[in-house]
Amino acid sequence: MNNNKNTNVYKFKKNKNSSKVKKILTLNERLGRILIVFFVVFVLLVFRIGWLQIVQGAELKEDMYRQLTTSKVISPKRGTIYDSTGKALAISAQVDTVSVDPTQIVVKNEDEEAAKLLTQQLREKVAKAFSDIFELDYDETLKKVSSDSTNVTIARKVENDKIEKLENWMKENKVYSGINIDEDTKRYYPYNNLASNLIGFCGTDNQGLWGLESKWNDILTGTPGKVTSAQDAVQDLIPYENGTYIAPQNGNDITLTIDANIQQVAEKYLKQACEEYDCQEGGNVIIMNPNNGDILAMATYPDYNLNNPYTLDYIPEKEWKKMSSEEQNTKLQETWNNKAITYTYEPGSVFKIVTAATALEEDLVSPDEPGTFTCEGVEVVSGVKIACSDRSGHGKLSLRDALKYSCNPAFIQLGQKIGAETLYKYYDAFGFFNTTDFGDIGDSGSSGERSGIFWNLSDVKDVELATMSFGQRFRITPLQMITAVSAVANDGILMQPRIAKEIKNTETGAITTIEPVKVRQVISKETSETMLDMLETVVDSGTGSYAQVKGYSIAGKTGTSEPDYSSEDAGFVASFAAISPVESPEVVILVTLYGLNGEKHSGSSVAGPVVHQILSEVLPYLGIQSDTTDSDSTAETISLPNVKNKTIAEAKKILEKQGFTCEVSGDSEDLVSEQMPVAGTSLIEGSIVKLYSADNDTKVSQSVPNLKGMSLSEAKAALRNKNLNIKYSGAGKVITQSITAGTSVEEGTVIDVVLQEEIEE
């Protein structure tokens, strides 16, 4: 039994070792199989890599570059517009445009739902950054970032400081894909409203939309360039042998004949007149050099800010919001229009210049023959009564007298002498039947210039002949009118209005000069000289007296056209054309004010003073010498000394010794930190000088009173009551003041006024 027991034990042990052997064999087999699998996978991987690298390498490389390749248009720099003195009126600055490819703003994840959620969170994050940096509406921005498009513009014309903020955000948040920053340019107008109706503006794509910007768009725009390159995920450039770069060709620079200084003067006084006389349809001023046709200024009121053309400052916001979109659009276009070339009006008595010149050229009348015409206060033409401005009549008149008193009956009689056919021949010669080709420089677009509107010659009967003889019941543009007047001033030679002097190719530096264009000889030099002599009489002693400027010879003609009640005319049109100096004309000015309905609406009393104000500044500025130093009717002035940094007591003593009155803010021992008016200002004796110390420098403002029609003593008293100063010239009643009534100014400010004896209109 014991043997059997041992045998069993042995068997048990043997069986146990056998199991261990089997387990070891099984493990080795598994490891072998795993190694075989790994080997097979490795072989396949090596084969696949070799296949991709060797067989498909070139193709895959090209596919990769196609995916990473970007092609961008490089915007050219739009040419600069300069005034005649070199001031930049319109410039293009480097900016950027930010856009996105929403299909690239995604987060990849094996879990489809997780990918959608993470992508949405990323897009919300990007939209939030855009809305914060560029001050955009978040919801609208999120819609763009989440769209199905491959290119959506987020912000145009972005300045560098905001681009830096975006780039910093992208680095901090490691967000690069799908956000594009492209170079661009933005149009700026450094002088805001200056010559806005003339220059016009550009759209967001830098294409000219209005004015000269539109007319000369092809010249100013240039040719876009193109760059093709490859970028990695963080928008760094990577080598790409097929990359290309085509440089843009920048636009040409253009220099205008406009002088910004003269333009500012014209705009200042035009605005004053339109606001003071409530010109419902605004107004315009054109200043031209008659010798070469150069436009020195072309002002329109109302104007607008070229940097923000869709906001009209002269219309209150509440009133604007009440308008329909159609009404707003109409008002915008009316404001953007350049009235000098797009607005036709009845010129009234200024047009008598043309009628008189025609009669002289045809040798139908002499300037000073007495009794040539008879005025009884009214002229009856085919049963129609046409009144004179003087209902009592002017009696017997020469042509000079007829111009001097602007007598309608006399010009009706003159028109009958000339006849419609001859008048139309001269209208054509003066350019009223065609546009002036204003602003043409090569193959440029339309400026929107209009031509005159006249009856067909066959329709001109007695009444039509009568009214057109003194400038009514037909329509022309202000530019046509001043061009004709300039021809009379320029020895009878009609010049094409010139607004551009030269074009500069910014790539080569080559300059193309726009030469003056002589259109034709309309009247003889002798007729021109006779007309100037008669028109000087109009200003010296006739209806144009308000345009006189001390020391300068001025010829001119007033115009007042009545509303045509059969049309939509809003009111009277007051105008004045002037030429100076008479001996050798260098400046012609036309002031036209539309839609006057007040008691004062004549060209003499309304437009004449504007001519005076403008020429008083423009003639000296142009270096035209005054022919007299006579100051009988001009206040004697003293130059205000500089008393800053002196004690108030000392400063007061100095000023009072020179005849000034002091108003002080501070103690006598305080030092003067400011004075008003400033040192060097010319003041009359008794003027008020305000002195301030550093601790007492609070300024007081006053509203300028309306001085029009006041005597000198009344004007002095009115200003002194408000601690304002006066500087004056002339004698009689105040006809102009340098600062519009109601304007708020600092105490001590000097108001220039012009006085003149009242005249019969």
* Band (443; pLDDT cuts 50, 70, 90): low
> What pLDDT score does 284 carry?
97
Q: What angle do CA 593, 195, 96 make, to 5 degrees?
A: 145
Examine the pLDDT at 633 and tell me if it is beyond 70: no
> What pLDDT score does 10 carry?
45
Task: Provide the residue type at 99 as one letter.
Answer: S
- DSSP, collapsed to helix, strand or coil, labels residue 710 as coil
* CA atoms of 416 and 420, how far apart (whole Å): 8
| Percentage, residues of the chain above pLDDT 90 | 64
- 298 beta partners: 286
Answer CATH for 637-756 from 3.90.1150.10, 3.30.420.10, 3.30.10.20, 3.10.560.10? 3.30.10.20
* CA atoms of 79 and 256, how far apart (whole Å): 13
Q: Among 20-34, 119-133, 348-362, 503-517, whose mean pLDDT is lowest?
A: 20-34
Over residues 66-81, the pLDDT tens digits come to: 555 555 666 788 999 9
* Band (586; pLDDT cuts 50, 70, 90): very high
Examine the pLDDT at 254 and tell me if it is beyond 70: yes
> What pLDDT score does 63 carry?
55
Examine the pLDDT at 398 and tell me if it is beyond 90: yes
> What pLDDT score does 566 carry?
64
Examine the pLDDT at 62 and tell me if it is beyond 90: no
> What pLDDT score does 237 carry?
47
* Band (568; pLDDT cuts 50, 70, 90): low
Over residues 273-301, the pLDDT tens digits come to: 999 999 999 999 999 999 999 999 999 99
Over residues 351-368, the pLDDT tens digits come to: 999 999 999 999 999 999
Examine the pLDDT at 372 and tell me if it is beyond 60: yes
Phi/psi for 756 (5° steps) reads: -155, 150
* CA atoms of 82 and 103, how far apart (whole Å): 45
Question: Are 366 and 401 spatial neighbours (Cβ–Cβ below 8 Å)?
Answer: no
Give the global pTM. Answer: 0.79
Examine the pLDDT at 97 and tell me if it is beyond 90: no
> What pLDDT score does 233 carry?
47
> What pLDDT score does 151 carry?
84
Phi/psi for 288 (5° steps) reads: -130, 145
Q: Which long-range contacts (CB under 8 A, 24 or more apart) does 230-236 make?
A: 230/65, 230/68, 230/69, 230/70, 231/68, 231/70, 232/68, 233/176, 233/177, 234/176, 235/176
- 692 beta partners: 665, 674
Examine the pLDDT at 632 and tell me if it is beyond 60: no
* CA atoms of 545 and 553, how far apart (whole Å): 12
Over residues 464-523, the pLDDT tens digits come to: 999 999 999 999 999 999 999 999 999 999 999 999 999 999 989 999 999 999 999 999
- The domains of the chain are located at 2-55, 69-255, 637-756
Treating both helix axes as pointing N-terminal to C-terminal, what angle do 352-361 and 525-541 enclose, rounded to 10 degrees?
Answer: 140
> What pLDDT score does 446 carry?
62
> What is the token pair recorded at 455?
């009856």
* CA atoms of 282 and 345, how far apart (whole Å): 12
Summary mean pLDDT of the chain = 88
pLDDT (average), residues 533-558: 95
Please state the separation of Cα 315 from the chain's center in Å: 17
* Band (562; pLDDT cuts 50, 70, 90): confident
> What pLDDT score does 77 carry?
86
Question: Are 505 and 255 spatial neighbours (Cβ–Cβ below 8 Å)?
Answer: no
- DSSP, collapsed to helix, strand or coil, labels residue 536 as helix
How would DSSP label each residue in 571-628? SEEEEEEEEE-SSS--EEEEEEEEEE-SS---IIIIIHHHHHHHHHHHHHHTTPPPS-
Q: Among 103-112, 403-412, 684-693, whose mean pLDDT is lowest?
A: 103-112
Nearest residue to 295 via CA among 146, 483, 533, 19: 483
Over residues 677-735, the pLDDT tens digits come to: 999 998 999 999 999 998 888 889 999 999 988 999 899 999 999 999 999 988 888 98
Residues 658-687 as b/e (b if ≥16 CB within 10 A, e otherwise) read eebebebbbeeebbbbebbbeeebebbeeb
pLDDT (average), residues 294-320: 95
Examine the pLDDT at 617 and tell me if it is beyond 60: yes
Over residues 727-759, the pLDDT tens digits come to: 998 888 898 898 988 899 999 999 999 888 766
> What is the token pair recorded at 282?
């605004």
> What pLDDT score does 22 carry?
58
pLDDT (average), residues 542-553: 93
Examine the pLDDT at 427 and tell me if it is beyond 60: yes
* CA atoms of 673 and 661, how far apart (whole Å): 18
117, containing H or E segment = helix 112-134
> What pLDDT score does 222 carry?
83
69-255 CATH: 3.90.1310.10
- DSSP, collapsed to helix, strand or coil, labels residue 231 as strand
* Band (634; pLDDT cuts 50, 70, 90): low
